Amino acid sequence: MMRRANKIAIYFLNKDKKFDLDNYLYTKWITPMDFVRALWYIVSTKTGYADTYRNEQFLPKTDVWYNHERKMLAVNFRNPDAGKLSQNILNALTVELG
């Protein structure tokens, strides 16, 4: 009960922080591969191809894609401060290169 209350409190604390990097409630990108995963989930469960107890109906994301999403969240393209945005882009490029 205490954990649930803490999660609710954190939600209401961060729900209006649209440009905060720690606010994952506002940013959730949908990619074309997400539609492919959804289609595969529907086909595999409706036809009985996948065993749902083994989670065979899910197509996993690769670590490369998770790292890319993490970098895009760190850049924070929705930040209204252009100086901070350019600094974030440079930081992401230096991490990538070096």
10-67 pLDDT, tens digit each: 888 777 766 665 555 556 677 788 898 889 888 888 888 887 777 777 777 788 888 8
Give the single-character DSSP code of 12: H
Where do the structural domains in the chain lie, given as residue ranges?
Answer: 17-97
H or E element in which residue 86 lies: helix 82-97
Judge whether 52 and 75 are in contact, CB under 8 Å.
no
Average pLDDT for 81-97 = 80
Q: How many Å apart are CA 7 and CA 18, to the nearest integer?
A: 18
Judge whether 11 and 25 are in contact, CB under 8 Å.
yes
pTM of the model: 0.44
pLDDT value of residue 59: 75
pLDDT for residue 4 is more than 70: yes
Residue 85 burial (CB count, 10 A):
15
